[in-house]
Chain A
Amino acid sequence: MLEVKELVTYHGSIRTIDSISFHVNTGEIVSIIGANGVGKSTLLGTLAGLYRPSQGEILLDGESIFSLPAYKIVRQGISLVPQGRQIFSSLSVRKNLVLGMYHNYQKTKKNLMKSKIDKMLEIFPSLKKHLNNMGGNLSGGEQQMLAIARGLMSDPKIILLDEPSIGLAPIIVREILEILQSVRDEFGMTVILVEQNVKAALKISDRAYIMDKGKFVLSGHSYELINNPMIQSTYLGLKT
């Protein structure tokens, strides 16, 4: 459903994304793995429209979304949960959630909206008592949960998650990853996941790409990669 061809993005004069091509099928969970600074966030940011690519092609269901601004891309059904949370710090948690469905707010019925918020609170019970607390007052992990919840509120076709496990307790990480799987299974949502927690990421994803210096250097099914000795030594910290 998402097809990226020879994508190039610059930061100033540095070619941060250096001609990347890949594709993601509907209902897949795909992980992107790489060391710090190889350009993972930039790639997701480019897909979501935050950075302007300078070359290449991005097709969503066959239609080009290349170089569309971020707010239009969301309407096409791609939602990014950015690194560093980026919640609305001086709005209440509830308003943060409501804004998550901004782009189809008009079409959404009041009670549907309420039930959606309730659903998010079910997934992230620790947000419940903070519903009227300001986003910025939450703890780091709670903010991360809020960011993910906000991303899910828009019912995206594809959700891009940039290191969602940062700052979350191990038990929550596991829960979230399970939730991702279940959303995928239930609604056919497609997930692109950037993770440092490689083992966990590979465990839930169907396929993965390994990224280095702006390029994809390796790709394959997760079960293959997890047994790849190179991956094991570099990313899983296992001595082979």
Chain B
Amino acid sequence: MGKSILEIDDLTKRFGGILAVNDISFNINEGEIVAVIGPNGAGKTTLFNMISNVIMPTQGEVRFKGEKISARKIHTLAKLGMTRTFQNLLIFENMSVLENVMLGTHIKLNTTILTAGFRLPSVKKDEEMSFYMASEALELVGLKSRMYERAETLPYGLQKLLEIARAIVSNPTLVLLDEPMAGLNDSEKNKITQVILNMRKKGYSFLFIEHDMRVVMEMADRIIVMDFGNKIAEGSPEEIQKDPKVIQAYLGEEVF
């Protein structure tokens, strides 16, 4: 396992009286896939939002590649190599599927308003590069055939794939996926699982939230379990599957 790229220390978040995340710490190493699971309302999404700087933590800090990122602007994270998807989809509805993903290539481009306005040669190069990167990513998740459709007309399941394509198109080091498989059918799930496992081989790391235990067991190297904002367990899939606390709070007796 590589060196640690994401370090989370004592992260805590309160919303008024609700303690959504309570003192969570863990690390992610290079090339690792880590899953966060836990009952509804356990604080998983809140944890993601703090890691990706969408909301400010009440306490604690996040370091990415050794840098403290909690004080940074959201947009600087992509350049550092961290991207994410959203649980309640945030696709650009007013654009085609292709354009959605092309936006994800931003950090690789140099176009500014003025160069664009005067259509300098660099702009064309940028566009071409962006186009090829985006098509590749769409190919990877299997959306290439629909790349010219308006994103909002895609069925729910495919919109999820679109978000994944947009998150991986810029070759980030770490991708946060919030319930990537929700709403996908089994064959899509298998496909995405394969895509992610392949990317891991190339050195990408993933942190993901998922309720589909089959996927979690298949993909995760390590699982973190949350309940009521607390980390109640951490370990390999095998360990977690057998952990009575986890079974009681989350899995129930029988695993589907």
Which residues on A are within 8 Å of B, measured CB to CB?
A: 11, 34-37, 41, 83-85, 126, 129, 133, 137-142, 144-145, 163, 166-174, 196-200, 234-237
Q: Are B211 and A163 in contact (CB under 8 A)?
A: no
Report 6 cross-chain contacts, Cβ distance below 8 Å, ordered by A residue: A84-B88, A141-B41, A141-B211, A169-B250, A196-B185, A199-B256
The residues in B between 13 and 51 inclusive whose CB is less than 8 angstroms from any CB of A are: 15, 18, 38-46
Q: Are B88 and A140 in contact (CB under 8 A)?
A: yes
Tell me, in angstroms, the Cα distance from A85 to B179 when the chains sit together: 15
Tell me, in angstroms, the Cα distance from A138 to B42 when the chains sit together: 11
List, in ascending order, chain A residues with CB within 8 A of B186's CB: 196, 198, 234-237
Q: Are B87 and A140 in contact (CB under 8 A)?
A: yes
* B179, chain A: closest CB distance, angstroms: 6
The residues in B between 189 and 208 inclusive whose CB is less than 8 angstroms from any CB of A are: 189-190
Q: Are A173 and B154 in contact (CB under 8 A)?
A: no
A169: contacting residue among B38, B43, B155, CB under 8 A: B38
* B236, chain A: closest CB distance, angstroms: 19
Tell me, in angstroms, the Cα distance from A11 to B155 when the chains sit together: 12
Q: Are B256 and A170 in contact (CB under 8 A)?
A: yes
**Residue on B with the closest CB to A145?**
B40
List, in ascending order, chain B residues with CB within 8 A of A199's CB: 256
Tell me, in angstroms, the Cα distance from A169 to B186 when the chains sit together: 17
Contact of A196 with B190 at beta-carbon distance under 8 Å, contacts A167-B40, A171-B250, A171-B252 already known:
no
List, in ascending order, chain A residues with CB within 8 A of B87's CB: 140, 167
Tell me, in angstroms, the Cα distance from A85 to B182 when the chains sit together: 13
Q: Are B211 and A170 in contact (CB under 8 A)?
A: yes
List 10 extra interface pairs beyond A36-B188, A171-B249, CB under 8 A.
Answer: A36-B185, A37-B155, A84-B89, A141-B40, A141-B211, A163-B183, A171-B250, A173-B211, A196-B186, A235-B186
List, in ascending order, chain B residues with CB within 8 A of A34's CB: 185
Q: Are B41 and A171 in contact (CB under 8 A)?
A: no
Tell me, in angstroms, the Cα distance from A170 to B157 when the chains sit together: 19
List, in ascending order, chain A residues with CB within 8 A of B256's CB: 170, 173-174, 197, 199-200
**Residue on A with the closest CB to B190?**
A237
Of B44, B88, B156, which is in contact with the most chain A CB atoms at under 10 Å from its CB? Answer: B156
* B119, chain A: closest CB distance, angstroms: 34
* A233, chain B: closest CB distance, angstroms: 10
List, in ascending order, chain B residues with CB within 8 A of A235's CB: 185-186
Tell me, in angstroms, the Cα distance from A85 to B38 when the chains sit together: 20
A36: contacting residue among B89, B157, B190, B251, CB under 8 A: B157
Tell me, in angstroms, the Cα distance from A41 to B156 when the chains sit together: 9
Q: Are A36 and B15 in contact (CB under 8 A)?
A: no
- B94: Cβ under 8 A from any A Cβ: no
List, in ascending order, chain B residues with CB within 8 A of A234's CB: 186-187
List, in ascending order, chain A residues with CB within 8 A of B189's CB: 237
**Residue on B with the closest CB to A124?**
B40
**Residue on B with the closest CB to A139?**
B41
Contact of A84 with B41 at beta-carbon distance under 8 Å, contacts A140-B88, A170-B255 already known:
no
* A184, chain B: closest CB distance, angstroms: 21
Q: Are A174 and B252 in contact (CB under 8 A)?
A: yes
Tell me, in angstroms, the Cα distance from A35 to B88 when the chains sit together: 21
Q: Are A167 and B156 in contact (CB under 8 A)?
A: no
Q: Are A196 and B183 in contact (CB under 8 A)?
A: yes
- B184: Cβ under 8 A from any A Cβ: yes
Tell me, in angstroms, the Cα distance from A3 to B211 when the chains sit together: 35
List, in ascending order, chain A residues with CB within 8 A of B18's CB: 129, 133
* B53, chain A: closest CB distance, angstroms: 19
Tell me, in angstroms, the Cα distance from A7 to B44 when the chains sit together: 42
List, in ascending order, chain B residues with CB within 8 A of A138's CB: 41
Q: Are B40 and A142 in contact (CB under 8 A)?
A: yes
Q: Are B41 and A170 in contact (CB under 8 A)?
A: no
List, in ascending order, chain A residues with CB within 8 A of B188's CB: 35-36
* B50, chain A: closest CB distance, angstroms: 14
Tell me, in angstroms, the Cα distance from A174 to B182 when the chains sit together: 16
**Residue on B with the closest CB to A171?**
B252
Q: Are B255 and A139 in contact (CB under 8 A)?
A: no
List, in ascending order, chain B residues with CB within 8 A of A171's CB: 39, 249-252
